[in-house]
Amino acid sequence: MPDDEYLALLGRAKEKLPQTIEKHERFTVPEPDIFQEGKTTTIRNYGDIVDALRRDPAHLLQFLLRELGAPGYLEGRRAIFKAKLSQSQIEERIQNYTETFVLCSECGRPDTKIVKEGRVMILECEACGAHRPVNVRKAPRTQEREGLVEGNIYEVMIEDVGRKGDGVARMDRYIIYVPGTVKGTRTKIKINKVTGNVAFATVSTEQPSR
């Protein structure tokens, strides 16, 4: 077949392709629009990000709070974190969320939904029909032992007050909530529970653990 005739046939075939195949766009998530004021970081276009991901705003927020180790809340279509966070920190966590809870592992498309089968979350792809368990990464136990230890006593500075009135302290990568404490005071605390980068404690009169 002559080259001219072949190219003409190829052009006519391309014209008949469905628009979704001819114009296959790469899925992108809006770049976080970050605004910092003191120790507060705001994602001003948070609503646009969750719209692109097609996920519950509260679900993404819970993931970011755990991964970033910072308290925060939603305010309209913005997300506000009570910590100074960099653009790269937030972008990396949103990318991790996208790969874990949104993108299909078979076709790579974002046309998915999360369903629960018993206690297991399943990611179902509406584009190719694939489904897989949602595997949420957990920090290794050795890391937890190297960090805060439940039952141990520490001395911390109460740097802030949370929305519920609890004192907030920071130690390494941890955010520690301590009820009944006042901002600006140095206090001995006992760690009652550690969840990811967040810990809950009570005031203690014991000496700090060594």
Confidence check: pLDDT of 23 > 60: no
| pLDDT tens per residue across span 111-125 | 999 998 888 889 999
Residues 86 and 132 reside in one and the same domain: no
Note whether residue 10 is domain-resident.
no
Note whether residue 1 is domain-resident.
no
Residues 157 and 193 reside in one and the same domain: yes
Residues 96 and 62 reside in one and the same domain: yes
Q: How confident is the model at residue 10 (pLDDT cuts 50, 70, 90)?
A: low
Note whether residue 4 is domain-resident.
no
Residues 54 and 75 reside in one and the same domain: yes
Q: Residue 34 sits in a domain of what CATH number?
A: 3.30.70.3150
Residues 115 and 130 reside in one and the same domain: yes
Among 88, 119, 137, the domain boundary falls at: 137
Q: What is the mean pLDDT of the chain?
A: 84
pLDDT greater at residue 3 or residue 149: 149
Residues 124 and 147 reside in one and the same domain: no
Note whether residue 151 is domain-resident.
yes
Confidence check: pLDDT of 9 > 90: no
Note whether residue 115 is domain-resident.
yes
Total number of residues shown for the chain: 210
The mean per-residue pLDDT over the stretch 51-69 comes to 93
Residues 97 and 112 reside in one and the same domain: no
Confidence check: pLDDT of 138 > 60: no
Note whether residue 7 is domain-resident.
no
Confidence check: pLDDT of 14 > 60: no
Note whether residue 54 is domain-resident.
yes
Tally of domains within the chain: 3
Overall pTM > 0.75:
no
Percent of the chain with pLDDT over 70: 81
What pLDDT does 21 receive? 39
What pLDDT does 7 receive? 61
Residues 111 and 158 reside in one and the same domain: no
Residues 123 and 149 reside in one and the same domain: no
| pLDDT tens per residue across span 152-168 | 999 999 998 888 889 99
What pLDDT does 201 receive? 94
Confidence check: pLDDT of 107 > 90: no
Domain membership of residue 110 as a residue range: 106-137
Note whether residue 165 is domain-resident.
yes
What pLDDT does 132 receive? 87
The mean per-residue pLDDT over the stretch 126-145 comes to 66
The mean per-residue pLDDT over the stretch 70-99 comes to 93
Residues 47 and 97 reside in one and the same domain: yes
Residues 40 and 91 reside in one and the same domain: yes
